[in-house]
Structure formats: C-alpha cells, structure tokens
Amino acid sequence: MRQFVSPLLALGCLIGNVAAAWPNGPFKTSGRWIVNANDEKISLAGANWPGHGEVMVPEGLQYQSIQDVLSDIKGIGMNAIRLTFATEMVDQIYANDGKDIDIKTAFEEGLGKENGTIVLEKVLKNNPSFTPETTRLEVYDAIAAECLRQEIYINLDNHISEGKWCCGGEDGNTWWGDTQFDTEKWVRGGAYMAAHSKNWPAKISQSLRNEPREPTNNNKLRDESYNWSDLYKYMRQGADAVHEADPDAVIVISGMNYDTYVTPLYSGEELQPSGEVFNRDDFVGYGKDKLVLEIHTYENKGTSCPSLRYNLYNKGFQAMNESDPNVAEVFPVMLTEFGQAMNGADYETAKTYVSCLSEYLPEVQASWFIWVIVGRYYTRQGIQEFDDSWGMKKPDWSGWRNDEYIETYLKPQIEGTLRK
C-alpha cells in the first residue's frame, strides 16, 4: 500500500534532520555534562595535537596529510583533538598589520632557511592544497574542516605564550606577568582565536591556559601573585574575552601546580589570599552553562591504582559528583593531559598507570585527551626532527609506536568512554 506523506511533514523531517546533523551545536553544560543542542550528553576521547612549537604549525605535516593524521585518530575510535596554539602567533599577526605569516616564512624562521625549505617541500607534497603562501591559520582552518568531515570535536587550547616546548618553572611562560607571559596579549590572543575559530563547526570548547605553574626563577612574581585569587581573576578576564568573541564556545578553566588540581574552584572554599569564593555570577551571561574544569596527571611511575584514583577524584573529578557533600559547584571535568613513554623500561614502569586510567576514566565518565599525537617534531628544545618517546606515532608518523598499548589499554579506554 502506498502511503502519502504531506509536503509539510516531509519538510519538517528534513529540517529536523538538518538541525540534528553532527556536531549539533551550540554546546553548553548541564550539571556534570557537556550537552549538544538536543541536550544529548557529549563525551570526548581524544589526543593532543600540538601546534604551539617554534614553527607554530601543527606537527607532523612533513610526514602525513591532515586527513591521514585525523583518520588515524578516528581509526582507533577517538572523537576529539586538543589543538594547541601559542599566543605569539597572534602577536605576530598584530605586528604584521593584521596579516598572518605564511608557512614559508614560518618554517624558515622556525627551522632556518635551509632546513625550513626542505621541510616545507615535504609538507606541500603531503598536503597539495597548500602553497608556500598558505598562512598558519589557514592550516588550522584546514584541520577544522577535516575534523568536521570526519566528525572529530576540537578543544582549542592556549598552550603557551612564546612559541616553543612547554612546560617548566623557568621558561618565562609560567604565570601571568612572567617575562614572556604578558596578560594583555594573552587576553587579546584568546579573543582573537575565539573569533577566528567560532566559524569552525567542530569546535566544542576553548581552553584558556595550559598548566599555570610556579615561576621558580621569579621570587617576586611567585610571592605576589602565584595564588588562587589571582588565578581566578585572570581566568575571569580570559573567559570574558573568549565569550565575547565566541558566545557559543564552552570555556575550559585550569588550576594550579601545572593544572594538577582545581579543588578550590568547586569546593566552595575561600580563594586565598582574597577570601572570595568561586561564583558563577562573576562570569556574566555564561557562568551557569558554559564552564568546564580541566586537570592533568603524570603520576606514571606510581604502583598503586587506588592512590591514582584517589588523587584524580580529590583534585578534580570530585566536581562531577553532585551527591558529594564537599562539592559546592558541579562541573564537567576533562583530563586534558596524561601520558607516558610508549616503549622501553619507562613504558613497563607505567603499566599500573595506563591500566588504571584505562579502567577508571570510563568508570567515572570523564572526557580526556592523551599526550601526544606526534612522532618526530619539526623542532623541540633546540633539536630539529626531535623524536618523542612519548609520541603515539612512530618517528616517521607511519603507524603506532606501541600496538600493544593501543590495543590492550587505549582502545578499551576509548570504547568505554564513548559507550552510550
């Protein structure tokens, strides 16, 4: 029997399907969850893709195309990347009359003319849509477009002010007011990138700053400013700027001591030395449904899973438990960095850590990003073609560095996290 479907009903179904198309933003928070426009819960299981090094172009494109990097991530079930950038990239745009630097210049300045030219040729061969005149932000745009095609969420992360390897207590990028950490430029950079990336449908969130930490070589700054009151002050400034530039973005706030704990932000305790308390009303117009907390853990030499669980809970994941009497403000909490060596003795030492996280993260239903999707870097800590033993990829990015880790620990962690 032929059934008649009215044109209005058909149009309504079409509109409904379009409205529900991935990624179905804008996103917001609801209690301990990030949710989409249909109030469906979103969980993220992803990897860090660094773009904050000296070249200020996301790593690995001399070995793989953007499509292939993301296909590898998607191929093991991941659905997100934490895409990092340096404030210096935006500073250079402002210094260049509002025009971004092309990748030819970026590679030559980051690697030297001879090596920069060689690496650029490899990047162009792997990514034929690029030319020497392609800008750095156009590379980011291409990543965002491919993320949309492959349905991979983006958490855009301000990783460091000065384009280089992060992080240490003496690197000048530790805390607001450090030698390379200019607060006004940081606010400006966050706003600029928020405005630029608001047209990326795959963008779900923007992290304000990676790993605020003690300036160990700057006693004056440490004594006067390294405290929860100032972190709260600066995070409000950064959040306001990002929200004004991109009102749809979920905003991710980090904590102290290399972002290893955020407890004072959700516990209702007084922030020292001012005595003020975290208040969503301080984030005018978005504090109720746009804020997420993030933490990191690198306790990869530990031998006790209960100890790791305890630390993760009490330093951050506790904020997701609305029934915990010690939680004054409920938040979604992301574990935006964890990781370990991918082979050798250090990998064997980390087995308790990796197996514990593989079980605990799905159990607590936390979103997460592993550090790090690299093989060799363009350059790191003064060494070009630096091979990172923590990198998930082989040195030439041709496959996974440790298939056992991927199959035994990471895939179950991904599947458990994303299970509906």
What are 297-306's pLDDT values in tens digits? 999 999 999 9
Q: What is the pLDDT of residue 19?
A: 52
- Residue ranges per structural domain of the chain: 27-418
Pairing of strands 367-370, 153-160: unpaired
The partner residues of 335 in beta bridges, in order of sequence, read: 295, 368
Query: Mean pLDDT throughout 94-105?
Result: 98
Per-residue model confidence as pLDDT tens digits over 386-406: 999 999 999 999 999 999 999
What CA–CA distance (Å, rounded) separates 31 from 26? 16
Q: What is the pLDDT of residue 340?
A: 99
Least confident of 14-23, 51-60, 128-137, 298-307: 14-23
What CA–CA distance (Å, rounded) separates 311 from 304? 11
Question: Is pLDDT of 75 > 70?
Answer: yes
Q: Which two tokens stand for residue 102?
A: 């092309």
Question: Is pLDDT of 23 > 80?
Answer: yes
Per-residue model confidence as pLDDT tens digits over 274-296: 999 999 999 999 999 999 999 99
Question: Is pLDDT of 384 > 70?
Answer: yes
Per-residue exposure over 56-73, b if at least 16 CB sit within 10 Å of its own CB, e if not:
bbbbbbbbbbbebbbebb
Of the pLDDT bands very low, low, confident and very high (cuts 50, 70, 90), residue 420 is confident
Tell me the pLDDT of the chain averaged across its residues: 96
Per-residue model confidence as pLDDT tens digits over 59-71: 999 999 999 999 9
Closest CA to 104 of 112, 92, 94, 96: 112
Q: Which CATH class is domain 27-418?
A: alpha beta
Per-residue model confidence as pLDDT tens digits over 150-185: 999 999 999 999 999 999 999 999 999 999 999 999
Question: Is pLDDT of 29 > 80?
Answer: yes
Supply angle C-alpha 59, 63, 66, rounded to 5. Answer: 60
291: Cβ contacts below 8 Å, ≥ 6 apart? 29, 239, 250, 251, 253, 280, 283, 331
Question: Is pLDDT of 345 > 70?
Answer: yes
Query: Mean pLDDT throughout 15-35?
Result: 85
Q: What is the pLDDT of residue 3?
A: 42
Q: Which two tokens stand for residue 240?
A: 């306001």
Please say whether the beta carbons of 404 and 358 come within 8 A: no
Query: Mean pLDDT throughout 226-241?
Result: 99
Please say whether the beta carbons of 169 and 214 come within 8 A: yes
Q: Which two tokens stand for residue 119?
A: 């690496």
Query: Mean pLDDT throughout 32-46?
Result: 99
Of the pLDDT bands very low, low, confident and very high (cuts 50, 70, 90), residue 6 is very low
